Amino acid sequence: MISPIVTVPASGAQDTASLVEALEGGAVLLFPDLDFPFSPFEERFVERPFADGKAKNVNIRGEAAELKGAAGTPEEQEALRQLLIRYRRFAQGLIDRHLPAYTGKVTLAGTSYRPFDVDQRKLSWRRDDTRLHVDAFPSNPIGQKRILRIFRNINPSGQPRLWRVGEDFGAMAEKFLPRLPGYSPLSASLLAALRITKAKRSEYDHLMLHLHDALKQDMGYQGSAPQADVRFEPGQTWVTFSDLVMHGAMGGRYMLEQTAYLPVAAQVRPETSPHAILAQKLGRPLRQA
């Protein structure tokens, strides 16, 4: 089954329970008409990239919301920072209104401004997000948490963000799990001791990283796997568990993105988590860090 796109109009009665169920089941929730206006000063951020070009994108992190990777005058950089802080609030508001089951349970992590064209960046296969993949963080073990992402296309000239979405996680995992190297607690401890990872990788982190890499390296799978093209138009917002939903970004520029973490235990149906699916496919619990 290919990940469904579920459209959620801003007005009208909301069945938030069925939204959460769809989201946890691997859907992309598409909000076509949420407001996030730019001030006249902010319009410049979609006219050219205010990025130093060294990192993949510009972001803020933590309570202090320190801005990383930006370019521009101090005034412009402060305005960009404020824009990202406002987007973080917007994402929190979306969760509170449309996914109230997660209110008080999600933690908001990084907020990013992505001004570059997806196509034009020459990246290594591992960083090439045009290839279908699930998200996994090499240096930042996620453990018993989920990655929930809130995206918004802020392109000023009508250019859509183009994605591909793939088959459901379980079907993908069945094909790839047998090829993955086994988890070694000793190597995981070593990586943490050497500060290559910020904490010790669990078996789940290990499997997700190797899935991410195996998927991106398998060009046969990339071409022939079940998949569908999706267009996210300017002004649209979409939300998905990017650790569960197979996705690739094929084109577009100027996007905002908020990452949120949700403990698996805080899900309405924890049994739909990639953690639980992997354990079920292996026929045993995953080893903890």
Least Å distance, CB 151 to ligand SIN, is: 6
HSE toward the beta carbon, residue 30, CA cutoff 13 A: 16
Residue 129: which of 236, 282, 275, 255 has the closest Cα? 255
For Fe ion, which residue of 8, 59, 115, 135 counts as binding (CB under 5 A)?
Answer: 135
Alpha helices (H) in the chain, listed in sequence order = 16-24, 74-98, 169-176, 185-193, 203-217, 219-224, 274-282
Q: Are 167 and 226 in contact (CB under 8 A)?
A: yes
**Can you tell me the distance from the alpha carbon of 147 to that of 194, in angstroms, rounded to the nearest whole number?**
25
Shorter beta-carbon distance to ligand SIN: residue 129 or 168: 129
Interaction between residue 212 and ligand SIN (CB under 6 A): no
Give the binding range for Fe ion (CB under 5 A) out of 134-142, 163-171, 209-217, 268-276.
134-142
Please count the residues of this chain forming the interface with ligand SIN, following the rule CB under 6 A. Answer: 9
Kindly identify the residues of this chain, within the stretch 108-127, that bind ligand SIN according to CB under 6 A. Answer: 114, 118
129 binding ligand SIN? (CB under 6 A)? yes
142 touches which of Fe ion, ligand SIN, none (CB within 5 to 8 A by kind)?
none
Rounded Cα gap, residues 257 and 79, in angstroms: 17
The minimum distance between CB 247 and ligand SIN, in angstroms, equals: 6
For ligand SIN, the binding residue among 81, 161, 206, 212 (CB under 6 A) is 161
How many Cα atoms sit within 13 Å of 188 on the Cβ side?
20
Residue nearest to ligand SIN (CB): 249
Q: How far apart are CA 56 and CA 58, in angstroms?
A: 7
243 binds ligand SIN per the rule CB under 6 A: no
**Residues forming the site for ligand SIN (CB under 6 A):** 114, 118, 129, 135, 161, 242, 247, 249, 255
